[in-house]
Amino acid sequence: MSEFVKLYDITKEMAQLLEAPPGQEEERDEFIERLTELLDERGKLLSSFQREPADEEEKLLKHIIALQEKMKPKLEAELNSVKRDLAELKKKKETSRRYENPYSHTPIDGAFIDKKK
């Protein structure tokens, strides 16, 4: 099997995966894990190309590019979703930590120092 065909198969699988993102948390973790695996495979495959594509492979590359352009906004949306989730998690941890020990992290806005003797 040609590297270009493998690349097309991986890209097609990614596109299908992105068409119906999961809703539940457990499914979402599996979705992100599978998407990461596919991206890694695809990256390794892209870095291993050493020859110019033939005519048939050139047509396949055009299909791959079209799929990539279709997937790009969905990948960015998924990335933003993960970033948002991480920010929320960080905020929750900080809030939780402040409730557990409210005096550990006191803000230093300013201090009054009495110089009278």
CA distance 80 to 83: 5
Average predicted confidence (pLDDT) for the chain? 85
Q: Determine the longest span between alpha carbons in the chain, in angstroms.
A: 91
Domain segments of the chain: what residues? 3-84
Does 7 have pLDDT greater than 60?
yes
CA-to-CA distance for 5 and 1, rounded, in angstroms? 7
pLDDT category of residue 21 using cuts at 50, 70 and 90: confident
DSSP type of residue 58: H
0.75 cut: is pTM over it? Answer: no
pLDDT digits (tens, 9 = 90+) for 63-115: 999 999 999 999 999 899 889 999 999 999 988 887 777 777 666 676 667 78
Q: Which residues contact 50 (CB under 8 A, 6 or more apart)?
A: none
44, 116, 31, 8: which is closest to 82 by C-alpha? Answer: 31
DSSP-assigned letters across all residues of 90-108: HHHHHHHHHHH-TTSS---
| CB-CB contact of 15 with 1 (8 Å) | no
- pLDDT of 29 reads 85
- Reading the block at residue 104, the tokens are 């550990």
Could you give the angle at which helices 3-19 and 55-100 cross, rounded to 10 degrees?
Answer: 40
What percent of the chain shows pLDDT beyond 70?
Answer: 90
